[in-house]
């Protein structure tokens, strides 16, 4: 969409809702906004399909359209060039971002504050709950600009290869062609990044100390004159969600909110800003609801996957200073690994406490056709076409069918990095920031070291995914899990491997002084963080430890080198954070539960993925399937209530990482079995608080959760971002 047409649609959106103030809309609820819903659905279900004449006047894709829509997908991906010197670039470890000094904030033309119109640049919102209301100090202020920038995934030279692993031709932006066998240096990829970096800034937060981030859109500026290619929200809008902060709707960055309030668009356009207020306050003020690792990422409707893949990822570990329990100081509280340094600028850093954000990508080979249902939104690309001028830069297809998996695996923005550790314990905070890929990690040693899959005679897209193997890799250490999505678990537990689904966080302590057989490590020893899950496409894995493991699929993603001894005051505690109470009579709530079934629809295209048979409608709340009590309830809980929600995977051989915003849940039943006394062995984290339900094919979970402290619109959705962007999402709302 051009800037001009973005402006036009912005005006149209505003006109649609002119004179309809927020409170009125809230009161109108689902029934009253039905008319608005229909109009909005036409705008949001699929502009590109509409432009191609594939939408019928009533907004339903007809049978002929389905055939056409299916015909316009190209599910062929390029093979990325082979990285020739992996495991040489150092793992980037983001330092804590500096807050904006108070004096500077006060000099802003529109400083943050609790008053009417102070929450965004449109002047139409206020913060629902300013920190003083709950006895908290004013927020620490950060400023993050959305920027066009460039990023290098590796400093290594590369060898262009085809899907059989054979050397092939390559290209450059100047129109030159290089013969097969020519080693190349990669061009930087264009990113849309928080402050222009990937991953974006890291904010080290603390409970009791609210944070306000002013996100400001500068994506209309392109100072380096970079090629924007054909993905990323076409109108350059953004919508930032702190996953899974206990946050008021206006700061939550979700499209059920943004289409109705605030920007009244899928996201905030260039030159707009929004103040997201993160109270760093646990749900219900209950310490047992405290979490430990958030991330902030784009949530712009219809282009979340593209925007996240284009770089909109930031890290937000949250510490708990109360009684020194988890404040980044291993000498007190739970004594988890971490040595804290308070910086003069008000931030703090914690050594031995390292976030690891996993992200897979593909680089353009210059010959693969760019072709999908979104092409009309990027007219400058003249798709369907191949783009030799983009050779070596990130390749993305919106791909409503199978999702999107890359063949280069990166950690903290660097492909196949190396980390030197001291001989002591570390805390690792894992995050899957990938569009669709699920990982399963083990810690392995290897005498022979990594070999390229090509050099082992392997070929074909699936076998080349990950590029490298450690054929003689053997598990040598265990992980001690200390946290899941929802924060510290009640008791640490050991794991030989763990799965990491999109948007999931898992935290582990790893002791680098000893191997699992008890023998000591020595300086210079090498350990590989190794992915053993083979996932050929976004549907699901073909091989993992749980299902037909492939002993040959051992892809090293991070090389860890043992260094010198270092003091270690940390301990692995026997107990961590207790779970919030589950009412003894929770089974009595089963009949009245809300039921949401995620399925693959028959319509394809923009509305391929459905919940309870419907594509996402941002203007209204979803309706539950009929529950055992015979009711089809609206997803409209009252503030302060608790309920059971069932999420069903409607089958078809797909897995779905299903995410519910705003409060952590606890799984009470999986596949009809009570798991409160101990999880399903396949899902050991069911005993933890989570915000993401991992659903194997045809599985169902029933979760218990609360709806506290705020009112207004939220969403729940599949976090396979290709599914989310093609309508597998629903709106829900907390009413006063």
Applying CB under 5 A, the residues found at the interface with Cu ion are: 656, 718, 720, 723
Residue with Cβ nearer Cu ion (304 or 478): 304
Residue with Cβ nearer Cu ion (202 or 256): 256
- Please tell me what DSSP assigns to residue 368: S
Residue 477, H or E segment: strand 474-477
- Please tell me what DSSP assigns to residue 110: S
How far is Cα 736 from Cα 641, in angstroms, rounded to an integer?
10
How far is Cα 695 from Cα 718, in angstroms, rounded to an integer?
10
β partners of residue 555? 531
3-state helix, strand, coil in the chain (%, to 5): 15, 35, 50
Residue with Cβ nearer Cu ion (242 or 598): 598
How far is Cα 25 from Cα 485, in angstroms, rounded to an integer?
33
Locate tokens 């390292």: which residue? 354
Q: Three-state DSSP class for 586? A: helix
Q: Three-state DSSP class for 276? A: strand
How far is Cα 12 from Cα 576, in angstroms, rounded to an integer?
52
Residue with Cβ nearer Cu ion (707 or 730): 730
Residue with Cβ nearer Cu ion (143 or 659): 659
**Hey, how many other C-beta atoms are within 10 angstroms of the C-beta on 642?**
16
Residue 445, H or E segment: strand 439-445
Query: CB of 639 within 8 A of CB of 710?
Result: yes
Residue with Cβ nearer Cu ion (297 or 723): 723
Q: How far is the CB of 230 from Cu ion (least distance, A)?
A: 24
612-626 in b/e form (b: 16+ CB < 10 A) is beebbbbbbbbbbbe
Residue with Cβ nearer Cu ion (467 or 720): 720
Q: How far is the CB of 481 from Cu ion (least distance, A)?
A: 25
Query: CB of 711 within 8 A of CB of 22?
Result: no
Q: How far is the CB of 441 from Cu ion (least distance, A)?
A: 22
Q: How far is the CB of 723 from Cu ion (least distance, A)?
A: 3
Residue with Cβ nearer Cu ion (6 or 728): 728
Q: How far is the CB of 243 from Cu ion (least distance, A)?
A: 16
Residue with Cβ nearer Cu ion (543 or 720): 720
What are the residues whose beta carbons fall under 8 Å from the beta carbon of 336, sequence distance 6 or more?
A: 326, 330, 353, 427, 482, 509, 570, 573
- DSSP conformation letters of 388-412: GGGTTSB-----TTT----SEEEET
How far is Cα 419 from Cα 360, in angstroms, rounded to an integer?
19
Q: Three-state DSSP class for 478? A: coil
Q: Three-state DSSP class for 208? A: coil
Q: How far is the CB of 361 from Cu ion (least distance, A)?
A: 20
Residue with Cβ nearer Cu ion (308 or 560): 308
Residue 13, token pair as written in the block: 């959106």
**Hey, how many other C-beta atoms are within 10 angstroms of the C-beta on 101?**
12
Residue with smallest beta-carbon separation from Cu ion: 718
Q: How far is the CB of 708 from Cu ion (least distance, A)?
A: 27
Q: How far is the CB of 728 from Cu ion (least distance, A)?
A: 5
How far is Cα 442 from Cα 412, in angstroms, rounded to an integer?
18
Q: How far is the CB of 720 from Cu ion (least distance, A)?
A: 4
β partners of residue 641? 707
Q: How far is the CB of 656 from Cu ion (least distance, A)?
A: 3
Q: How far is the CB of 293 from Cu ion (least distance, A)?
A: 22
Residue with Cβ nearer Cu ion (230 or 298): 298
Q: How far is the CB of 215 from Cu ion (least distance, A)?
A: 27
Residue with Cβ nearer Cu ion (656 or 683): 656
**N-to-C CA span, the chain:** 38
């Amino acid at each position: 969409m051009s800037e001009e047409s973005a402006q036009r649609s912005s005006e149209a959106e505003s006109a649609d809702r002119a004179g309809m103030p927020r409170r009125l809309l809230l009161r109108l609820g689902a029934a009253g906004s039905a008319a608005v819903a229909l109009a909005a659905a036409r705008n949001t279900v699929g502009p590109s399909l509409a432009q191609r004449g594939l939408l019928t006047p009533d907004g339903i894709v007809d049978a002929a359209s389905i055939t056409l829509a299916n015909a316009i997908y190209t599910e062929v991906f390029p093979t990325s060039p082979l990285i020739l010197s992996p495991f040489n670039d150092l793992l980037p470890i983001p330092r804590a971002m500096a807050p904006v000094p108070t004096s500077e904030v006060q000099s802003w033309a529109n400083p943050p504050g609790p008053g009417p119109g102070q929450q965004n640049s449109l002047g139409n919102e206020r913060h629902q709950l300013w920190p003083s209301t709950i006895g908290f100090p004013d927020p620490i202020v950060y400023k993050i600009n959305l920027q066009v920038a460039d990023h290098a995934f590796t400093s290594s030279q590369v060898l262009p290869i085809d899907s059989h692993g054979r050397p092939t031709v390559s290209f450059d932006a100047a129109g030159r062609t290089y013969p097969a066998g020519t080693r190349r240096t990669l061009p930087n990829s264009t990113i849309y990044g928080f402050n222009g970096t990937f991953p974006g800034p890291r904010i080290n937060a603390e409970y009791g100390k609210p944070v306000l981030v002013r996100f400001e859109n500068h994506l209309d500026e392109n100072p380096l004159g970079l090629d924007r290619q054909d993905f990323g929200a076409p109108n350059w809008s953004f919508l930032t969600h702190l996953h899974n902060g206990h946050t008021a709707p206006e700061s939550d960055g979700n499209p059920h909110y943004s289409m109705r309030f605030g920007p009244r668009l899928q996201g905030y356009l260039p030159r707009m800003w929004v103040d997201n207020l993160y109270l760093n306050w646990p749900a219900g003020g209950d310490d047992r609801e405290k979490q430990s690792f958030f991330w902030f990422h784009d949530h712009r409707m219809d282009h979340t996957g593209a925007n996240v893949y284009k770089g909109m990822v930031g890290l937000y570990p949250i510490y708990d200073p109360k009684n020194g329990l988890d404040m980044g100081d291993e000498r007190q509280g739970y004594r988890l690994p971490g040595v804290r340094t308070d910086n003069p600028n008000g931030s703090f850093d914690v050594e031995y406490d390292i976030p690891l954000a996993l992200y897979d990508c593909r680089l353009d080979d210059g010959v693969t056709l760019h072709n999908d249902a979104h092409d009309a939104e990027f007219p400058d690309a003249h798709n369907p076409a191949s783009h030799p001028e983009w050779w070596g830069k990130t390749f993305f297809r919106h791909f409503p069918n199978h999702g999107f998996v890359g063949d280069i695996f990166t950690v903290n923005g660097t492909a196949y990095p190396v980390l030197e550790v001291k001989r002591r314990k570390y805390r690792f905070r894992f995050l899957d920031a990938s569009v669709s890929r699920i990982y399963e990690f083990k810690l392995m040693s290897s005498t022979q070291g990594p070999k390229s899959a090509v050099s082992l005679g392997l070929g074909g897209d699936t076998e080349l995914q990950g590029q490298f193997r450690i054929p003689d890799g053997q598990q040598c250490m265990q992980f001690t899990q200390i946290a899941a999505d929802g924060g510290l678990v009640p008791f640490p537990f050991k794991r030989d491997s763990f799965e990491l689904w999109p948007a999931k966080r898992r935290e582990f302590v790893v002791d680098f002084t000893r191997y699992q057989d008890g023998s000591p490590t020595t300086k210079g020893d090498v350990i590989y963080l190794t992915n053993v899950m083979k996932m050929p496409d976004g549907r699901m894995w073909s091989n993992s430890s749980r299902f037909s493991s492939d002993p040959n699929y051992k892809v090293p993603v991070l090389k860890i080198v043992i260094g010198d001894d270092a003091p270690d005051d940390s301990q692995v505690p026997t107990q961590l954070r207790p779970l919030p109470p589950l009412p003894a009579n929770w089974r009595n709530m089963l009949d009245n539960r809300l039921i949401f079934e995620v399925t693959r629809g028959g319509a394809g295209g923009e509305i391929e993925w459905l919940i309870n048979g419907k594509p996402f409608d941002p203007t209204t709340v979803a309706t539950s399937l009929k529950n055992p009590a015979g009711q089809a309830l609206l997803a409209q809980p009252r503030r302060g209530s608790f309920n059971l929600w069932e999420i069903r995977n409607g089958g078809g051989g797909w897995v779905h990482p299903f995410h519910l915003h705003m409060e952590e849940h606890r799984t009470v039943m999986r596949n009809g079995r009570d798991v409160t006394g101990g999880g399903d062995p396949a899902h050991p984290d069911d005993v933890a608080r989570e915000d993401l339900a991992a659903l194997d094919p045809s599985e169902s979970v029933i979760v218990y959760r609360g709806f506290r402290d705020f009112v207004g619109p939220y969403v729940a959705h599949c976090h396979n971002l290709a599914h989310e962007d093609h309508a597998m999402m629903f709106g829900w709302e907390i009413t006063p």
